[in-house]
Structures are given as C-alpha cells and as structure tokens.
C-alpha cells in the first residue's frame, strides 16, 4: 500500500494519493508541521484560524506555541473533524482557547467576524483531505476501498460524486476530468463511463475504478492506479475546492491584522497555482498588463511575501510521511493599508514585497 501511495503522488502531483501507509497509526500525520508553525509565528495572546482542522495536528501545535492564552478558531467542513475539535477543546488546559466551527473555509471571514475573533494574527489552510476521511470506506474518497461514490467533505450538503458520474453529459465529464485531474485520457474515460452507466448507474468507488481501468489500462512499467486522476478530479468538483480556496484567500486577507500571516499548504499544482498567483498579485504594487507604458491600475498591495520561495518537505519527512512529497507551503504577511500613491521604492510595503512592478523604470503610479 505504501508503495502505491508514493508512486500515485509522483504521478498525479499529490492528488488523490494519500493511500494507506502515509499516516500515523492513530490518524492523520500533519505535513510540514514545524515549517507551518514557524511561518505563522504564533505568540501568547495571538488569535489564529486553522481553516482545515482535520485531525488537529496543526491546531495543537499552534496552541502549544501560543501558550498560555493564544486562541485558535478551528474550521472544517467535515462534521467528524469538528467533533474531534470539540473533543480537543475538552482536554485540560485548552477550553476556550479552541473555538471549533463547522464551516466551509470559503466563509472563514464571516465566521471570524461572527465569533468576535477578527482581526486575526494568522490563518492556516492545509488543503485536501485527511487520512481519517480516506480510511472511511463509506466516505467514498479511496478507490481501493469499496464504498459509495460520495466524496463530500460535508456529507450534509451538496451532491455526491455519483451524481456527476451518472448525470453529466460525456463531453462535460471529459472536460471536468481534464481540468481538475489533468487527465490526458479524459475523453476516453468519459466515453467509457457514459457507456457503462447506460447498463447500470455507477454508484461505488470500486466500480468506477474498474471502469476507468478497463478504459485506459495501466501504463507500462507503472504501478499507478489508472483511476488516480479521475478520483482527484471528481473530489475537486464535488467539493468545489478551487472556488472555496479562492474565496478563503480573499477572506483571509480581509480579516488578517497588520503583520498577520497567511500560510497555505497545497498538494497539487491546481491549488498551488491559485495560491501563488494570489500572493503574487496581492503583493504587487502594480497589476497593469506588462505592455502598459504607465501604471493606471491604482492597485494597493495588501500582502508582503514573507518567503518568496515555496517551502517543501525535507527528504526525512518524505521518507517518514510519503504524503508530504507533493506538499508546497507558501506564506505571506498582511501589510498595513498603504495608499497606492506611496507604494513605491523606499517605503516599507514595497521593501517587504520585493515584487512591486511599479518600481520598474518607466512605470510610475499616477
């Protein structure tokens, strides 16, 4: 199983690849834990939001690092994860320092305001799914366990993955597999699904995995399951993951206090691209098209990129936890509001960001 995990991750950029073997026996092993906590820089009295509580590994570490009175607002779309957060809040010494909230992180700004915890000193998003979810056959995330094709982080909302598989026109299904799974054989797989569902609806993980495997076979010399990308695509679409991420990033910036940190761990290129572009844009002094001779955008940077380069797991962490192989951590810091006219070379905002295009020769703010 562990071998499957590692090779699936290589193949699909991390994707659906958290197969058995990539976790602690008791649950989910947090990825880039020390790096994420260092990036957030928690301090006593600080207020933090963990948008993806999962098994609570990151939350615990933030609570420890902000001892004795730092607070964590812990969100998760999955009610099971929030039950774990409530249990953690019962542990001695935690109590009101942990505020669990069953919510999609797309709504993190509203929740932070409603709970009275905004402005925040840090926001963490550790994207994707947890080992708890992958291990529960009935959640339908893993093609190796027989279960219903569900894949919802929050089973009380939205529609299960089976609805997409059985109801989308073949052409739209192919587009979905290509866009969210970066699946090069999307058309062939979609056509096979469309044929199969005419005989009987595809309602289980195992049947879908078989249909995909029959349609495209295994790659010679590869031990990757051919359904890896299909499962990733369906999970992303079912949970509208990329849209939720875009909203969460925007919301995070709006509720961060000056110098508050935004830390995001992504597991595949689609997520990471969104995070990277968001941080680039929000830390740029100018977002005019490159060919524009003079800046007219009036854009005000709201973030400084604290660590310009992505942080990745060390070889030791990858050996201990194969899931970390594809993890990419990015961090940015909230700037105080700086009027666009002064966001030029020499002021603290652009000195921190280091990417202000308005500082290029010939491009000046109006």
Other C-beta atoms within 10 Å of 20: how many?
15
Alpha-carbon dihedral angle through residues 41, 47, 48, 49, given to the nearest 10 degrees: -170
Q: How many whole angstroms separate alpha carbon 241 and alpha carbon 180?
A: 10
Binding range to ligand SAM, per CB under 6 A, among 54-62, 165-173, 292-300, 335-343:
54-62
The only residue of 13, 14, 56, 140 in contact with ligand SAM, by rule CB under 6 A: 56
Q: Which is nearer to ligand SAM, 50 or 282 (CB)?
A: 50
Q: Which two structure tokens, joined as six digits, stand for 291?
A: 């060919």
* Spatial CB neighbours of 275, under 8 Å, sequence gap ≥ 6: 245, 249, 264, 266, 330
Q: How many whole angstroms separate alpha carbon 64 and alpha carbon 7?
A: 34
Give the DSSP per-residue string, 214-241.
HHH-PPTT----TTHHHHHHHHHHHTTH
Q: Is 76 in the site for ligand SAM (CB under 6 A)?
A: yes
> How many chain residues bind ligand SAM (CB under 6 A)?
23
Q: Quick check: 361 and 295 in contact, CB under 8 A?
A: no
Q: Is 302 in the site for ligand SAM (CB under 6 A)?
A: no
Work out how close the CB of 313 gets to ligand SAM at its nearest, in angstroms, rounded to a whole number.
14
Output b/e per residue, 74-110; b: 16+ Cβ within 10 A.
Answer: bbbbbebbbebbeebbeeeeeeebbbbbbbbbbbbbe
CB-based closest residue to ligand SAM: 54
103-142 footprint of ligand SAM as x/- string (CB under 6 A): -xxx-------------------x-xxx------------
Q: Which is nearer to ligand SAM, 46 or 51 (CB)?
A: 51
Q: Which is nearer to ligand SAM, 103 or 164 (CB)?
A: 103
What is the H or E stretch that residue 75 is in?
strand 71-76
Q: Is 58 in the site for ligand SAM (CB under 6 A)?
A: yes
Work out how close the CB of 137 gets to ligand SAM at its nearest, in angstroms, rounded to a whole number.
17
Q: Is 48 in the site for ligand SAM (CB under 6 A)?
A: no
Binding range to ligand SAM, per CB under 6 A, among 38-46, 75-83, 174-182, 325-333:
75-83
Q: Is 98 in the site for ligand SAM (CB under 6 A)?
A: no
Q: Which is nearer to ligand SAM, 121 or 196 (CB)?
A: 121
The only residue of 14, 30, 226, 301 in contact with ligand SAM, by rule CB under 6 A: 30
* Spatial CB neighbours of 220, under 8 Å, sequence gap ≥ 6: none
In angstroms, how far is CA 322 from the centroid of its own chain?
Answer: 17
Q: What is the DSSP letter of 361?
A: T
231-250 footprint of ligand SAM as x/- string (CB under 6 A): -------------x------
Residues at the contact surface with ligand SAM, assessed by CB under 6 A: 28, 30, 51-52, 54-58, 75-78, 81, 104-106, 126, 128-130, 153, 244
């Amino acid at each position: 199983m562990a071998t499957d995990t590692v090779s699936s991750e290589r193949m699909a950029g991390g994707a659906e690849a958290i197969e058995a073997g990539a976790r602690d026996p008791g649950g989910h092993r947090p990825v880039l834990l020390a790096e994420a906590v260092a990036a957030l820089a928690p301090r006593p009295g600080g207020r933090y939001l963990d948008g993806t509580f999962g098994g609570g590994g990151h939350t615990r570490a933030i609570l420890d690092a902000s001892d004795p009175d730092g607070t964590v607002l812990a969100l998760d779309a999955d009610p099971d994860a929030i039950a774990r957060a409530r249990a953690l809040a019962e542990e001695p010494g935690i109590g009101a320092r942990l505020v669990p909230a069953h919510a999609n992180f797309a709504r993190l700004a509203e929740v932070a305001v409603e709970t009275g915890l905004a402005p925040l000193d840090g926001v963490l998003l550790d994207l994707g799914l947890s080992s708890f979810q992958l291990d529960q056959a009935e959640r339908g995330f893993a093609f190796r366990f027989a279960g219903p094709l569900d894949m919802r982080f929050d089973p009380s909302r939205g529609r299960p993955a089976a609805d997409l598989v059985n109801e989308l026109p073949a052409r739209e299904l192919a587009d979905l597999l290509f866009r969210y799974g970066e699946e090069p054989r999307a058309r062939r797989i979609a056509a096979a699904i469309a044929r199969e569902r005419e005989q009987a609806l595809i309602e289980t993980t195992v049947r879908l995995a078989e249909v995909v495997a029959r349609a495209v076979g295994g790659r010679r010399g590869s031990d990757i399951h051919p359904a890896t990308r299909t499962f990733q695509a369906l999970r992303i679409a079912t949970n509208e993951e990329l849209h939720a991420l875009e909203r969460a990033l925007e919301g995070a910036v709006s509720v961060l206090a000056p110098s508050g940190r935004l830390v995001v761990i992504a597991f595949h290129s689609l997520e990471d691209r969104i995070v990277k572009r968001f941080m680039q844009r929000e830390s740029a002094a100018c977002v005019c098209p490159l060919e524009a001779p003079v800046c007219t955008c009036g854009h005000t940077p709201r973030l400084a990129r604290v660590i310009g380069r992505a942080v990745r797991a060390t070889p030791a962490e990858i050996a201990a936890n194969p899931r970390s192989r594809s993890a990419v951590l990015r961090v940015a810091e909230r700037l105080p509001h700086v009027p666009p006219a002064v966001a030029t070379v020499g002021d603290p905002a652009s000195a921190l960001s280091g990417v202000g295009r308005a500082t290029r020769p010939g491009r000046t703010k109006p």
